[in-house]
Amino acid sequence: MNQNMDRRTFLSYLGTGAAALAAASAGLGTLEGKASAMSPTADHLFGYRTNQVSGYFDPIEPSKADELILPNGFKYDVVAAFDDIINEAGEKFGQGSDYNAFFPINGSNVHGLLVNNHEYTNIFGLGPIVGGKMSQDQLEKNLYYQGMSVIEVLRDESGVWQMDTSSKYARRINGFTTFEFTGPANRSSALNHASTAQGTFANCSGGVTFWNTVLSCEENFSETAEASKLPSTHYGWVVEIDPFDGSFLKKHTALGRFNHENTAMGLTKDRRIVVYMGDDKKDACVYKYISNGKYVPEQGRSNSALLTDGTLYVANLKNGKWIPVTYEALSKVLASEKFKAPAGVKGSREELMKQYQSQADVVTNCHEAALMLGGMPTDRPEDIEISPFDNTVFICHTNNDAHGNIHGHITRIFETDNDLGSLEFDFEIFAAGGRQSGFSSPDNLAFDSRGNLWVVTDISSSSTNQGVYTAFMNNGLFVIPTAGPSKGAAMQFASGPKDCELTGPFFTPDERTLFLSVQHPGENTTDLSKPTSLWPHREGDSKARCAVVAISGFRFN
């Protein structure tokens, strides 16, 4: 037994995740990695070689300053900020930077492609919206500045990270880019028989696949779709792009349509693909998708077809079960005369039978279908990460004031037999937000090779530095060990500028650089002549800009 694990903890793990415990104690990843042909980005998904847990920075204190504050010995470079030109065509970096993924070029840790999500626009991108209605120019900017950027980045000889705007790969993907639908809803009546969609927007967090593409999640899509008179059912999906191939653009309907936060990809014991996903809404569910076919590393990007044919499951945390979200199961539920729509589902049995006539209808109206099948509403499930050490699954439940869950918590799932393909599980509350832990409202997650969880917080801009959120000050980045003597204890690594949320932490494979987005600094600004933040404080600038930074200074024992 790990000498740092007490008897009570040990007993509580017995019978639920014994294999996970064994793996954690041994400090070994449970899956063997195999370097992809293209880059080592996805390698950590197959496990790390060590999980030595050690302190290697001096935690900072919370701050209200309009600065990105890091521990002593660390520095950041602004790699790309809102409206910066990213390529020779003059395309511009989008707004609302969120998820990041770094893809080495020729295996380099200091030169590669960086994929960044752009979640939404604000007053600094559109200007004031008069009478609550966007002008034509604002509607176009709103679609242009959302989506994603692929940029080429490098660390120069003086150790400064910057963009290479002569890149042949650098490009924008936005509300005007055509995507192909895959899966059960492709060409269905639920999508007005469309096989393509105009654009992607509301791209929140995401994930990398085993084959080194990016899955990007369409979260709060409704307002943009409505304002631009685009069909709402074409958004709210997981999209897949290949950073090195601009022609590869998919929307995978088999993964369901809801307010997608991120994806976390893993393998079942029999080598099928699993994708864990959260629906970031109050009283919404946690999902996992399992492919029918098996992952074959040699087939590279062709493995993407695994995301078109499989089963979507929703979690019931009370029973510890994953429930299939299928048309077959739903028609059985609706066939019963005793059927009563659960809270959150509108319509009579007859109306619902009419609405749900195929798997396409089920995936397109996924949240309601999942509730009818017994999915458990939870407190805003945001990022999910699978521990590369023990296959346990960490979920940020950001908060839910409707249930008095003001500071949120991180839930940890133990799949039965430590198999991500299992349909039964147990769980624990791994860490809870609040004064006792020093963080509130956990959102994005990333693991490092020491088994530490890097957690950014999302206290809403209307609540930061007020009432019960006062003590936490500006949103930050925290490090929480998942094993060892400091297991579960949060240490603050960064504090963001005013009104911002830090998002998208992503390490280079050698963990010498951490990419991080500073999303919506100055978001409370209502008058452009009085911005509440001027971060990143560029000379002569009169507005705040969201940006991606590269943090360096990491030390190794």
229: left (phi over 0), alpha (psi -120 to 50) or beta: left
Between the CA atoms of 156, 160, 165 and 171, what dihedral angle is there, to the nearest 10 degrees? 120
| 448 counts as binding ligand FEO under rule CB under 6 A | no
Q: How far is the CB of 158 from ligand FEO (least distance, A)?
A: 35
Residue at token pair 């084959």 = 211
Q: How far is the CB of 436 from ligand FEO (least distance, A)?
A: 24
* Strand (E) or helix (H) holding 334: helix 327-335
For the chain, what is the total number of helices (H) and then of strands (E)? 9, 30
Site string for Ca ion, 431-450 (x = CB under 5 A): ------------x-------
CA 494 to chain centre: 19
**In the window 100-119, what residues touch ligand FEO (CB under 6 A)?**
119
Q: How far is the CB of 459 from Ca ion (least distance, A)?
A: 10
Residue at token pair 């007859």 = 350
**In the window 468-497, what residues touch ligand FEO (CB under 6 A)?**
none
| 204 counts as binding ligand FEO under rule CB under 6 A | yes
Site string for ligand FEO, 329-368 (x = CB under 6 A): ----------------------------------------
Query: Is the Cβ–Cβ distance between 15 and 446 less than 8 Å?
Result: no
According to the 3-state scheme, what is the secondary structure of 393-440?
EEEEECCEHHHCECCCEEEEEEEHHHCCCCCEEEEEEEEECECCCCEC
Of 240, 280, 499, 523, the residue at the interface with ligand FEO (CB under 6 A) is: 280
Gap between the Cα atoms of 485 and 290, Å rounded: 35
Task: List residues bridging with 506 in a β-sheet.
Answer: 515
Q: From the list ligand FEO, Ca ion, none, which binds 379 (C-beta under 5 to 8 Å, kind-based)?
A: none
Site string for ligand FEO, 370-389 (x = CB under 6 A): ------------x-------
| 379 counts as binding Ca ion under rule CB under 5 A | no
Residue with Cβ nearer Ca ion (279 or 443): 443
- State the chain's maximal CA–CA distance in angstroms: 72
| 458 counts as binding Ca ion under rule CB under 5 A | yes
Residue with Cβ nearer ligand FEO (378 or 422): 378
| 219 counts as binding ligand FEO under rule CB under 6 A | yes
Contacts of 235 (CB under 8 A, 6+ apart): 197, 200, 201, 202, 218, 221, 222, 224, 225, 257
Gap between the Cα atoms of 308 and 338, Å rounded: 34
Q: From the list ligand FEO, Ca ion, none, which binds 84 (C-beta under 5 to 8 Å, kind-based)?
A: none
Gap between the Cα atoms of 188 and 194, Å rounded: 7
Residue with Cβ nearer Ca ion (385 or 458): 458
Residue with Cβ nearer Ca ion (205 or 304): 205
**In the window 384-443, what residues touch ligand FEO (CB under 6 A)?**
none
Which of 60, 76, 129 shows the shortest CA–CA distance to 535?
A: 76
| 523 counts as binding ligand FEO under rule CB under 6 A | no
**523's tokens:** 């978001």
Q: How far is the CB of 114 from ligand FEO (least distance, A)?
A: 19
Residue with Cβ nearer Ca ion (218 or 458): 458
Residue with Cβ nearer ligand FEO (204 or 373): 204
Residue with Cβ nearer ligand FEO (146 or 186): 146
Contacts of 428 (CB under 8 A, 6+ apart): 12, 411, 412, 414
Of 240, 261, 379, 499, the residue at the interface with ligand FEO (CB under 6 A) is: 261
Gap between the Cα atoms of 174 and 203, Å rounded: 9
Q: How far is the CB of 456 from ligand FEO (least distance, A)?
A: 10
Q: From the list Ca ion, ligand FEO, none, which binds 240 (C-beta under 5 to 8 Å, kind-based)?
A: none
Gap between the Cα atoms of 517 and 336, Å rounded: 49
| Binding-site size, ligand FEO (CB under 6 A) | 6
The binding site for Ca ion (CB under 5 A) comprises 382, 443, 458
The binding site for ligand FEO (CB under 6 A) comprises 119, 204, 219, 261, 280, 382
